[in-house]
Amino acid sequence: MNKKQILYYKNILGAVSSRASCNRAIVGAILVRNRSIISTGYNGSPRGLQHCDDIGHLISNNHCVRTIHAEVNAILCAARNGININGCELYSSYKPCFQCMKIIINSGIKRVFYFNDYKDDFQKEFEKNKYCKFIKIKCVE
């Protein structure tokens, strides 16, 4: 992957993440197959429900549980539209949390590229899988 392509995806992630409706984490995700974007997602409440930006956060164990994470929303958007994501790549503003990692692995996504670290206590356990690689992209400008 060349620098120009990385910047292209990073800029699109910026636009997608601008739709996030939970200001605790402004995250975007895109699913890519053969260098074509097939789905996008951002942090937000389930369809038809109110957003954190409108009514406040719903906090449990220091995490907002009102929202669905960007990575999962990208996967769900593809599913809702009948798009096969097996073998795709996912690009994300941040490293997926361990819950998202489990979903990503089982969905058939082969590689995840992320720009910023997000640390939780269980990520290392799920990074050790043989089906999906998690790769940090060093900042490119």
Contact 137, 6 (CB under 8 A): yes
CA gap 89, 111 in Å, rounded? 5
Catalytic-residue membership of 71: yes
- Active site amino acids: 71
